[in-house]
């Protein structure tokens, strides 16, 4: 039988073209594929425990792992999202009916400010009520238009979400069942020596698990604590603000203070002194303590990344990749540091 040989450069070109074409095909479901891989890595210990408990039956273990993820992660998130939409609609209705009047709030703040603060604001024309009202009216019109567009597209967005979730779960089943085989093939295909591949792959898995578990747990804790204090202080839309604080908590060193800080200042300026003091102390000592204690333990300790690298890579990742960036950013940063450490310690790159 005649055998054909293919020049290496031609084969590498073919390999690159078909790889790019394959990723292009997957692009519409890139989010589903990404989170399928992330969940497979994060919940791999759960699948391994179920596989051992079920007597080494991969299909049953993978299916049971999917059911547990549905019950523990996806269903609670769906319920929170539904409640969030209801509360956001209620807050929007309160703004339209005048129950929440930003002009009145602004006037209260201006009336309570000392003379030196007013002079600073006047330099920037921030005390002009008429101008501010025009801006608020224009902003309200933009919000109304955005809400109308969202209402029109809600059905298609919900359908897209359901399709993406179904694709993710379908992929996750096979990643659980065949994960070890796929991982071994990928490791073999990477053109690096074994002594380089192992630390890079180990670092990749460690960073994903630490970033997802750590950031998500910190965000959930800060969002829940922030929503609780807002509910106790009778701030409108506590669930809405809890979700916003949880999302902002993904940004280390900044986080939920962007929300509770201005509210505490508003309470203090407008005469609600005890509410402002309670919220400020609670924000610093309780909400802030969660970030300062849990995040280094759950994220920085395992990833071995300095806090400033975690902050910059998270912000940069989210700016480039959206919500997925809070995982992608730290992973790229950790691989960057690991690769340079390997390069610095490898003798063959520094032969005299």
- Specify the pLDDT at position 125: 58
From 315, 328, 301, 323, select the one nearest 255 (Cα to Cα). 315
Are the CB atoms for 265 and 242 separated by under 8 Å? Answer: no
In eight-state DSSP terms, residue 192 is: S
Please answer whether residues 329 and 317 qualify as being in contact, where contact means their C-beta atoms are separated by less than 8 angstroms: yes
Distance of alpha carbon 152 from alpha carbon 159, whole angstroms = 13
In order, the DSSP letters of 308-319 are: HHHHHHHHHHHH
Angle between helices 194-232 and 288-295 (to 10 degrees): 160
User: CB–CB of 269/112 below 8 Å?
Assistant: yes
Residue 273's H or E segment, with its range, is helix 273-282
Q: Give the C-alpha separation, 119 to 30, whole Å.
A: 52
Res 148: pLDDT: 47
| Per-residue tens of pLDDT for the chain, all 352 residues | 455 555 677 777 888 888 889 889 888 888 888 888 888 888 888 899 998 988 888 889 999 999 998 888 888 777 777 776 666 666 667 666 666 666 666 666 666 666 666 666 666 555 555 565 556 555 555 554 555 455 445 545 667 778 888 888 899 999 998 888 888 888 787 777 777 777 778 777 877 877 777 777 888 888 888 888 988 888 877 887 888 888 877 776 667 788 888 888 888 877 778 888 888 888 888 887 777 777 666 665 656 677 778 778 888 888 888 778 878 888 888 888 877 877 777 665 555 5
- Supply the pLDDT for residue 67: 92
What does pTM read for this prediction?
0.69
Give CA–CA dist 329/94, Å, rounded. Answer: 38
Determine how many CB atoms are found less than 10 A away from the CB of residue 159.
Answer: 10
CA–CA separation, 211 and 302 (whole Å)? 9
What does R_g of the chain's alpha carbons equal in angstroms? 26
């Amino acid at each position: 039988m005649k055998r054909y040989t293919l020049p290496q450069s031609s084969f590498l070109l073919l390999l690159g073209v078909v790889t790019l074409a394959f990723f292009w095909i997957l692009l519409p479901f890139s989010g589903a594929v990404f989170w399928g891989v992330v969940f497979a890595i994060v919940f791999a210990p759960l699948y391994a425990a179920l596989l051992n408990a079920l007597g080494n039956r991969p299909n049953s273990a993978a299916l049971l792992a999917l059911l547990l993820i549905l019950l523990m992660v996806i269903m609670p998130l769906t319920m929170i999202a539904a409640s969030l939409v209801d509360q956001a609609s209620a807050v929007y209705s309160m703004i339209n009916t005048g129950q929440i009047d930003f002009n009145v709030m602004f006037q209260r703040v201006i009336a309570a400010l000392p003379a030196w603060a007013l002079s600073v604001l006047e330099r920037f024309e921030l005390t002009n009520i008429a101008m501010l009202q025009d801006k608020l009216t224009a902003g309200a019109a933009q919000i109304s238009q955005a809400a109308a567009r969202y209402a029109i597209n809600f059905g298609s967005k919900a359908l897209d979400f359901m399709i993406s979730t179904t694709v993710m779960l379908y992929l996750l089943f096979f990643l659980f069942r065949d994960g070890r085989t796929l991982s071994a093939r990928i490791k073999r295909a990477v053109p690096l020596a074994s002594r380089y591949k192992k630390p890079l792959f180990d670092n990749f898995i460690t960073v994903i698990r630490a970033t997802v578990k750590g950031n998500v747990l910190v965000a959930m804790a800060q969002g829940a604590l922030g929503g609780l204090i807002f509910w106790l202080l009778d701030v409108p839309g506590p669930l809405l603000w809890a979700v916003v604080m949880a999302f902002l908590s993904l940004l280390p060193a900044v986080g939920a203070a962007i929300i509770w800080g201005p509210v505490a200042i508003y309470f203090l300026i407008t005469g609600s002194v005890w509410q402002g003091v309670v919220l400020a102390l609670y924000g610093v000592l309780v909400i802030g303590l969660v970030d300062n204690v849990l995040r280094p333990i759950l994220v920085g300790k395992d990833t071995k990344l300095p806090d400033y690298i975690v902050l910059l890579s998270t912000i940069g990742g989210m700016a480039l990749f959206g919500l997925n960036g809070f995982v992608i950013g730290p992973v790229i940063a950790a691989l960057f540091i690991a690769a340079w450490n390997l390069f610095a310690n490898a003798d063959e790159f520094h032969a005299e």
